[in-house]
Structure 1
């Protein structure tokens, strides 16, 4: 569908903002002593984070260490990287130094991730990781790294909050502009009957069983589940249940 002039102007302005934020993410890392940066607005997307022309930011803007070949073409990177694994299970700024991970508060969550071989394998002495947990269960991350000696405690205390904020702004704006975030209708608001159907579906009930429990026809159950999925931006039953759970609908009383 052809976009109106207003929509074109909005899209162009959004990409101008994203490009500006990407530069700011790069620059704040350099100022803090972390010259290498990598970013991805959706870790589940095999394609690299790219600009409006489809050019990876990793190739045109962000500098990385001397990896053999374009690292962003490695489709298994998101599975192999300990830093990205940390971003999946922790939603606050993370530091890496001396073979271990930490954050601004004591946490046992990061202790289970083995980073003892990172420096030997890649030469990274320190890193700051900004996990970005977006709507619809998407997780992105910005990772700044260095190969130089650095006082991670001082830098993290001074810069992590600003770096984290920039990462959220960049990745959220990029996910929307790149069409990674399907727009839910009415901000994903479900009716009480839709919530009831999804809740029973989450409990493993078939449409026939849900109909018996709620005194509805099977076609009506399908109608409510289909509407719930459309509102949440889901295309499958399992995804509808996942998103409804993540948005807190299944814990609500109806």
Structure 2
């Protein structure tokens, strides 16, 4: 599918933008409800309805401190065929969250293709057949939010005019604004709900540990790595084992996974 390159306009008025960002800021679970109401209002005032998903790998709906489901009671996705937040298969089958795995900047999309800030060959290969049926809309402005530890948030702004297929004007006018308020909202929501510590804090891997893990991440054995780095087999095992201790991992695979989550392995691993 073709990917068209578009340019976003800068939101007008720094003071106004800061005010809107403050309205969607979440510092504790009790802030979630009002921030969600404000996010819904910001979208509605610009002719759009917002849909927010904090984690495309999770089956849990987004809720406020009282357990209210945001996408139902606040963002108003309630009609038959519109309750996308109940269908966990969408993260696998809809092109919207799928595209968020390959793009971190805002874009808009319809059946004819993706429209992004720059050409993205990964998006060009995403199948948009039966786009409306699979995406539950004719067009959408999509805001990916890539969070720490590999968490991906996929968020959409859909025109209140459900028949509208061209969102180029809305994207140019509001894409940057939607991106900033959505990122602020989602980051705060995730932080307010994050109670489990999955990776030790302030974990620093050595240059040699990272080097060994990068080769291990692409399938090299300890023996092969020892030959590549011209170090003994025992030295390679030590560095990988030491990295696992720092990352509190139970095995080699989890060591590589956690190092990748922290950005030690780069995009080529």
Stretches of structure 2 that go unaligned for 5 or more consecutive residues are 1-25
CA contact (8 A) 2:43 2:157 kept: yes
Residue aligning to 1:86: 99
Matches within 5 A, 1:156-167: 156-167=171-182
- Using CA pairs under 8 Å that are at least 6 residues apart, name the structure with larger relative contact order, 1 or 2: 2
C-alpha separation between the residues in 1 aligned to 2:215 and 2:74?
48
Taking a change above 3 Å as real, the CA distance of residues 87 and 180 of structure 1, as seen in their structure-2 partners, is: farther
C-alpha separation between the residues in 2 aligned to 1:120 and 1:250?
38
Stretches of structure 1 that go unaligned for 5 or more consecutive residues are 1-11
C-alpha separation between the residues in 1 aligned to 2:219 and 2:204?
23
C-alpha separation between the residues in 1 aligned to 2:218 and 2:113?
39
- Number of matched residues? 236
Would you say 1:26 and 2:40 are equivalent positions? yes
TM-score (norm 1): 0.74
TM-score (norm 2): 0.71
1:32 partner SS? coil
Residue aligning to 1:129: 142
Residue aligning to 1:198: 213
Taking a change above 3 Å as real, the CA distance of residues 235 and 178 of structure 1, as seen in their structure-2 partners, is: farther
Taking a change above 3 Å as real, the CA distance of residues 236 and 144 of structure 1, as seen in their structure-2 partners, is: farther
Q: What do the CA deviations read for 1:8-33 (whole angstroms, capped 9, x no partner)? A: xxxx9422443343223212221221
1:143 partner SS? strand
Larger proportion of helix:
1
